[in-house]
């Protein structure tokens, strides 16, 4: 028996050259925070955005359970506990969103057996106690969900690889560098640190060697894996470079949240344009992301470049990075102004970034 789920699914816009757009029921869109698209980091706004996405997931799961009742078996008690937890702010990791997305695909395809299995896996999930967990991708946490995650995350030609638990040295180095980066942001960029803590539930470490196709996986995220920030520890970084990567990837998550109820651009997905951050031409949504993210990176590096206790060498490196990031922003902005079909959300976001990049000092408001 086919299941009708024409409405009720969480709207997800993919970052892997596909768009999956659905409507979530009873989603509040008139809260002032939803309309607050100013450029500067804002920890409270990020907390609100994260809570809304989790509430939306709970509402959509409830809808899917209702559509599936009597057709696909599921544990109503366990799933209602999860739905109630999401509405109360329970911090489920990206696996919950991966299972949900694959559940929607299965229901659309009327694959009731697979949908039942995914319902069962969702019912077994538990929220994490920590605000953010740092885990290698071979951690047992991911074992039941690894393939679901891999279908939704693009790691490039080299594949996902893994960070093997026995690789103690790169893991210990990463943890020390991550601590330095978050501590530095807490001192010099406290609102940015608060944003990252709000939207990043898990930092997931993978080992992806460089490939011969000139496309290198540095890090990534996906709206279909909300709260997950994937970082490639095969890439050697200084602590300052890691800080910039954290700013970069968390900015992508913010853009996913900002575009939850309206896309950033209306350009056809097949259209391709030069990207400021990648050698290969990208869809306009990718150009928008790269451009706005570059502005966020430039802002962070400019603030660090003025930090009195950072040390002269690191301040110099930060200011050099700022100039590169600002140049990337300007290149991307030119493409957007020339070719983008901006929505109201997209226009307000890029206008606020442009104002920030053009202010005295070049990068801050």
How confident is the model over 57-98, as pLDDT tens digits? 999 999 999 999 999 999 999 999 999 999 999 999 999 999
The span from the CA of 264 to the CA of 348, in Å, is 10
pLDDT score at 29 = 43
Range with lowest mean pLDDT among 18-32, 85-99, 149-163? 18-32
Last residue of a domain, one of 83, 104, 129: 129
Q: Which of the pair, 253 or 151, is modelled with greater confidence?
A: 253
9-23, 24-38, 293-307: segment of lowest average pLDDT: 9-23
Mean pLDDT of 91-120: 96
Q: What pLDDT, on a 0 to 100 scale, did the predictor assign at position 14?
A: 31
Question: Does residue 267 lie in a domain region?
Answer: yes
* CB-based contacts of 156, cutoff 8 Å, min separation 6: 208, 211, 213, 215, 216, 217
Closest by CA position to 93, among listed 219, 11, 202 = 202
**What is the pairing mode between strands 219-220 and 133-136?**
unpaired
d(CA 183, CA 164): 27
Last residue of a domain, which of 89, 106, 129? 129
pLDDT value at position 103? 96
The domain total for the chain is: 2
120 pLDDT more than 70: yes
Reading the block at residue 228, the tokens are 């997950």
pLDDT of residue 168: 64
- Residue 48 counted as domain residue: yes
Structural domain contains residue 345? yes
Residue 181, domain member (yes or no): no
Mean pLDDT over each residue of the chain, to the nearest integer: 86
Q: Is the pLDDT of residue 194 over 70?
A: yes
Residue 88 falls inside a structural domain: yes
pLDDT band at 159 (very low <50, low <70, confident <90, very high): low
Element (H, E) at 204: strand 202-206
* Residue that the structure tokens 């209602």 belong to: 80
Question: From the CA atom positions of the chain, what is the Rg in Å?
Answer: 20
Does a structural domain hold residue 356?
yes
Question: With the CA atoms of 69, 113, 85 and 47 taken in that order, what torsion angle do they form, in degrees rounded to the nearest 10?
Answer: -120
The answer to whether position 301 is within a domain reads yes
Q: How far apart are CA 281 and CA 93, in angstroms?
A: 32
303, 317, 318, 319, 356 from 307: Cα distances, Å: 7, 12, 10, 11, 19
- Residue 282 bridge partners (DSSP): 273
Range of the domain at 55: 12-129
Residues 316-333, mean pLDDT to the nearest whole number? 96
Domain boundary among 85, 100, 129: 129
Has residue 203 been placed in a domain?
A: no
Q: Answer for the pair 37, 348: CB distance below 8 angstroms, yes or no.
A: yes
- Residue 268: strand, helix, or coil: coil
Of 18, 180, 212, the residue nearest 105 (C-alpha): 18
Which one is predicted more confidently, 164 or 241?
241
Pair type for strands 19-20 and 12-13: antiparallel
Quick one: tokens of 94? 């990206």
Phi, psi torsion values for 125, nearest 5 degrees: -70, 150
Cα separation, 304 vs 299, in Å, equals: 9
């Amino acid at each position: 028996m086919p299941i009708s789920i024409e409405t009720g699914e969480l709207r997800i816009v993919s970052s892997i050259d596909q768009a999956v757009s659905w409507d979530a029921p009873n989603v509040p869109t008139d809260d002032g925070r939803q309309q607050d698209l100013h450029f500067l980091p804002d920890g409270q706004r990020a907390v609100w955005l994260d809570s809304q996405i989790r509430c939306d997931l709970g509402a959509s799961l409830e809808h899917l359970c209702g559509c599936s009742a009597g057709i696909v078996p599921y544990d109503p008690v366990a799933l209602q506990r999860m739905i109630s937890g999401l509405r109360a702010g329970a911090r489920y990791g990206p696996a919950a969103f991966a299972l949900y997305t694959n559940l929607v695909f299965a229901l659309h395809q009327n694959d009731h057996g697979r949908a039942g299995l995914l319902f069962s896996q969702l019912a077994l999930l538990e929220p994490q106690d920590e605000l953010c967990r740092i885990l290698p991708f071979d951690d047992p946490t991911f074992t039941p969900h690894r393939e679901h995650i891999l279908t939704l995350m693009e790691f490039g030609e080299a594949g996902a690889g893994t960070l093997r638990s026995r690789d103690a040295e790169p893991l210990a180095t990463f943890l020390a560098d991550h601590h330095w980066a978050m501590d530095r942001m807490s001192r010099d960029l406290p609102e940015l640190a608060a944003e990252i803590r709000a939207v990043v539930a898990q930092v997931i470490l993978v080992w992806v060697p460089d490939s011969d196709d000139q496309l290198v996986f540095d890090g990534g995220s996906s709206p279909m894996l909300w709260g997950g920030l994937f970082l490639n520890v095969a890439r050697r970084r200084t602590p300052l470079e890691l800080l910039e990567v954290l700013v970069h990837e968390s900015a992508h998550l913010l853009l996913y949240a900002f575009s939850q109820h309206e896309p950033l651009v209306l350009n056809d997905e097949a259209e391709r344009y030069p990207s400021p951050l990648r050698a290969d031409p990208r869809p306009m949504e990718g150009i928008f992301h790269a451009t706005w993210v570059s502005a966020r990176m430039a802002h962070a590096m400019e603030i660090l470049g003025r930090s009195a206790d950072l040390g002269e060498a690191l301040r110099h490196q930060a200011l050099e990075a700022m100039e590169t990031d600002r140049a990337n922003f300007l290149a991307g902005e030119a493409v957007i102004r020339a070719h983008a079909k901006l929505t109201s959300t997209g226009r307000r976001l890029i206008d606020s970034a442009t104002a920030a990049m053009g202010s005295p000092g070049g990068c801050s408001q």
